[in-house]
Amino acid sequence: MRMAWPLAVLAAGLAPAPVTALADPSVPEPAGYRSEPYRAPVPDSLAGATVLDAAGVAAWQQAGAVLIDALPALSRPDGLPAGTLWRAPPHESLPGAVWLAGMGYDRLSPADERRFADALDRLTGGDKGAALVFFCKADCWMGWNAAKRALAWGHARVGWFPQGVEGWTASGRTLAPVEPAP
């Protein structure tokens, strides 16, 4: 059965993609942050970060790493008739993950950069050596961009999980509902 995805999901380029083995070695790392389309094959590396599979993510989490989901939150679609009720669908993520919604775009406003940096400081207690694992969905650049930004801000132990939530479930693990962090 084929899943019908909301137009906002498709327009944002965030509809599910097939799970890849890890990532695509033929995709080069860009010098900067990747922009649209965000749902596209990702490289098999991120300079300065550790690329993790599901077992690696579980091991890092067990050792105290903070898991960070960078998927944007869906917003009410434009053009809905007046009076139309709309609720964002529930978001499921890796159990224990913090959802820093939308922090994986290529460009963040100064206010969003500050919120992201402040959130990382809160989550790590200001320790730039604390382990962080970033992810999104399979073949999605949001987790890659967020991890790259954390590295640029001096975070030393950064993991990136390119398979994202689809890779997590494909490994036999479950997801849990999560709300965006304030």
Highest mean pLDDT among 8-12, 25-29, 33-37, 151-155: 151-155
Residue 15 DSSP symbol? S
Please state the rounded mean pLDDT for residues 60-72.
96
- Give the N- to C-terminal CA distance of the chain in Å, as an integer: 36
Count of structural domains, the chain = 1
Q: Give residue 90's pLDDT.
A: 85
Q: Give residue 22's pLDDT.
A: 60
| Neighbour tally for 90: CB within 10 Å | 8
Q: What is the dihedral of CA 93, 19, 13, 97, to 10 degrees?
A: 20
- Whole-angstrom Cα distance, residue 167 to residue 75? 25
The model's pLDDT over 35-52, given as tens digits with 9 standing for 90+, comes to 899 989 999 999 999 999
For residue 87, is it within any domain? no
| Confidence band, pLDDT 50/70/90 cuts, at residue 76 | confident
For residue 12, is it within any domain? no
Q: What is the mean pLDDT of the chain?
A: 87
Across the chain, the runs of DSSP E, i.e. the strands, are 50-51, 66-69, 92-93, 98-99, 131-135, 157-161, 176-177
Question: Do the beta carbons of residue 158 and residue 49 sit within 8 Å?
Answer: yes
For residue 129, is it within any domain? yes
The model's pLDDT over 112-161, given as tens digits with 9 standing for 90+, comes to 999 999 999 999 999 999 999 999 999 999 999 999 999 999 999 999 99
CATH number (domain holding residue 121): 3.40.250.10
For residue 108, is it within any domain? yes
Q: Which domain holds residue 154?
A: 49-72+93-182
Helices 141-152 and 110-124: crossing angle in degrees, nearest 10, is 80
Which tokens is 59 given?
């091991």
| Confidence band, pLDDT 50/70/90 cuts, at residue 172 | very high
Q: Give residue 74's pLDDT.
A: 75
Pick the more confident residue, 140 or 80: 140
- Whole-angstrom Cα distance, residue 43 to residue 179? 29
pTM over 0.95: no
Sheet containing strand 50-51, strands side by side: 50-51, 157-161, 131-135, 66-69, 98-99
For residue 34, is it within any domain? no
